[in-house]
């Protein structure tokens, strides 16, 4: 594929093949690959009227020895089931989820960026209510799809530190849908995101919606903080998305790098005590934060605005080393895509 991989951003580039399966009368059809990238729907489809839609995000990587792999897709499949249950959608069998991912990556393998290019293939599985509903209730028919698109860094500048602000908007309600990957969580973050961008910030730090004293996450990534003594701290809350990247980083920190890890409530007033701050997720990987603006009060992380801090750098190198097959992975983390 003749692409300037080093200069692509996080945007949609259409590839040839995608996977589609339809749910009707209580059962999923056989499903399969198609080149059709548009969808025709009832004007009254559940997804269009009441936002009944969920999604996942994972990546495919080319390893140094030329294999194509994904990272812990079983956890994406499991989280997809959790999201489906919460929105009263049918479950898509988890082994079929992984098979669909394999098929779409394999069919578009010329779009998987080469090893060392800095780009990766982003994989987007999703499901939505496709039949008509006008009274508020779950749809009776659903469509499951997977497409892929090559992507570069989520934030412009790659791993250059960003500036974020504490938001006055909430992304989730207590006992709401913050812990699942539903499109509605992202729709309601758009106004907060655009106002943050207009004021010069890359992202929002959302607080716990009940007391507004604790750190939750951003619109698309979990937080990790490094204390001055080197301990990794990550917020615990029922309304943040359980990031697979964050869970993997905590494992790497504790079991590979021998760091102390604390998964607990993190108070806004603790922010000045941290040495480093990063956003982590499939899209964000680990994106360092240089400054956090809390209503005009600037909290500058000691790691500064020039480079990622030393501890996050080590975590970044270890995580991406595992994902790219340079470092040995814990059992079951690397899923090779069969390329027939």
Binding residues (CB under 6 A) for ligand PLP: these are 57, 217, 220-222, 241, 243-246, 281-282
78 vs 132 by CB, closer to ligand PLP? 78
Residue 75, SS3 per DSSP? helix
- Distance, in Å, from the CA atom of 277 to the CA atom of 264, rounded to the nearest integer, reads 15
139 vs 250 by CB, closer to ligand PLP? 250
* Options 181, 214, 291, 313, the catalytic residue: 181
Cβ atoms of 253 and 315 within 8 Å: the answer is yes
Residue nearest to ligand PLP (CB): 281
Taking the complex as a whole, the smallest distance from the CB of residue 186 to ligand PLP amounts, in Å, to: 7
170 vs 217 by CB, closer to ligand PLP? 217
Contacting residues toward ligand COI, per CB under 6 A: 57, 220, 281-283
129 vs 220 by CB, closer to ligand PLP? 220
Identify what 241 binds: ligand COI, ligand PLP, none; CB under 5 to 8 Å per kind.
Answer: ligand PLP
Q: What are phi and psi of 121, to 5 degrees?
A: -100, 120
Instruction: Provide the strand spans (E) within 206-259.
Output: 222-227, 232-235
| Token pair in block for residue 275 | 């040495």
How many beta carbons lie within 10 A of that of residue 267, not counting itself? Answer: 15
62 vs 243 by CB, closer to ligand PLP? 243
Q: Angle at which helices 310-323 and 244-251 pack, to 10 degrees?
A: 110
Taking the complex as a whole, the smallest distance from the CB of residue 179 to ligand PLP amounts, in Å, to: 9
Please, what's the b/e burial string for 114-137 (b: 16 or more CB within 10 A of its CB; e: otherwise)?
ebebebbbbbbbbbbbbbbbeeee
**Regarding beta strands 58-62 and 68-71, do their DSSP bridges make them parallel or antiparallel, or are they unpaired?**
antiparallel
Residue 85 annotated among the catalytic residues of the structure: no
Instruction: Provide the strand spans (E) within 64-202.
Output: 68-71, 120-129, 142-151, 162-166
Residue nearest to ligand COI (CB): 57
Half-sphere exposure (CA, 13 Å, Cβ side) for 181?
24
Taking the complex as a whole, the smallest distance from the CB of residue 245 to ligand COI amounts, in Å, to: 8
Taking the complex as a whole, the smallest distance from the CB of residue 296 to ligand COI amounts, in Å, to: 27
Identify what 222 binds: ligand PLP, ligand COI, none; CB under 5 to 8 Å per kind.
Answer: ligand PLP
Taking the complex as a whole, the smallest distance from the CB of residue 245 to ligand PLP amounts, in Å, to: 3
Residues 6+ apart with CB under 8 A from 94: 74, 77, 78, 80, 81
- Distance, in Å, from the CA atom of 20 to the CA atom of 100, rounded to the nearest integer, reads 9
Taking the complex as a whole, the smallest distance from the CB of residue 92 to ligand COI amounts, in Å, to: 17
141 vs 179 by CB, closer to ligand PLP? 179
Catalytic residue numbers read 181
């Amino acid at each position: 594929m003749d692409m300037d991989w080093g200069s692509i951003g996080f945007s949609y580039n259409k590839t040839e093949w995608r996977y589609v399966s339809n749910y009707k009368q209580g059962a999923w059809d056989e499903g399969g690959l198609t080149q059709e990238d548009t969808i025709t729907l009832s004007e009254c489809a559940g997804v269009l009227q009441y936002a009944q839609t969920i999604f996942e995000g994972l990546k495919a990587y080319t390893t140094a020895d030329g294999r194509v792999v994904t990272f812990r897709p079983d956890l994406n499949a499991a989280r997809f089931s959790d999201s489906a249950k919460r929105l009263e959608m049918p479950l898509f069998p988890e082994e079929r989820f992984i098979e669909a991912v394999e098929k779409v990556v394999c069919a578009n393998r010329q779009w998987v960026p080469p090893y060392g290019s800095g780009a990766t293939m982003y994989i987007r599985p999703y499901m939505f209510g496709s039949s008509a509903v006008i009274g508020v209730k779950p749809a009776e028919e659903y469509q499951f799809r997977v497409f892929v698109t090559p992507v570069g860094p989520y934030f412009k500048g790659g791993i250059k530190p960003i500036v974020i602000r504490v938001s006055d908007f909430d992304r989730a309600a207590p006992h709401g849908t913050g812990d699942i990957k539903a499109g509605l969580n992202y729709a309601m973050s758009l106004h907060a995101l655009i106002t943050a961008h207009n004021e010069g910030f890359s992202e929002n730090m959302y607080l716990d919606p009940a007391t507004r004293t604790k750190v939750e996450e951003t619109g698309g990534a979990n937080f990790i903080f490094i204390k001055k003594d080197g301990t990794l701290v990550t917020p615990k809350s029922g309304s943040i998305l359980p990031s697979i990247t964050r869970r993997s980083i905590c494992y790497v920190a504790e079991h590979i790098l021998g760091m102390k890890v604390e998964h607990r409530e993190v108070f806004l007033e603790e922010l000045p005590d941290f040495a480093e701050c990063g956003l982590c997720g499939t899209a964000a990987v680990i994106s360092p934060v240089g400054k956090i603006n809390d209503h005009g009060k600037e909290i500058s992380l000691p790691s500064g605005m020039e480079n990622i801090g030393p501890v996050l750098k080590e975590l970044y190198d270890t995580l991406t080393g595992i994902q790219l097959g340079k470092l040995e992975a814990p059992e079951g983390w690397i899923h090779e895509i069969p390329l027939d």
